[in-house]
A = this chain, B = another copy of it.
Amino acid sequence: MALTDLILQNVSTHIRLEDEEKDIFLSMLKQQKVKRKQHLLREGEICRVSSFVLSGCLRGYTVDADGTEHVLNFAGPNWWIADMYSLLSQKPGVLNIEALEEAEILTLSKTDQERLYKEVPHFERFFRIITENSLVSYQQRLLDNLSLTAEERYSSFCKRYPNLVNELPARQIAAYIGVTPEFFSKMKHHLLLMLLDELCSGYLLNEEHVDEA
Contacts and interface: CB of A to CB of B under 8 A. Distances in A.
Interface of A: 62, 64, 68, 70, 72, 84-85, 88, 94, 117, 121, 124-125, 127-128, 131-136, 138-143, 145-148, 178
Given A72-B143, A127-B128, A143-B72, A136 B84 contact: yes
What is the total number of copies of this protein in its complex?
2
A72 B133 contact: no
B133 A135 contact: no
A132 B88 contact: yes
Contact of A140 (B85, B124, B145): B85
B72 A139 contact: yes
A62 B147 contact: yes
Nearest to A65: B147
Given A84-B132, A84-B135, A128-B128, 19 more contacts: A62-B146, A64-B147, A70-B143, A70-B146, A72-B139, A84-B139, A85-B136, A88-B133, A88-B136, A94-B143, A117-B125, A121-B124, A128-B131, A131-B131, A131-B132, A141-B142, A142-B145, A145-B146, A146-B178
Contacts of A132: 84, 88, 127, 131
A62 B139 CA distance: 11
A146 B145 CA distance: 8
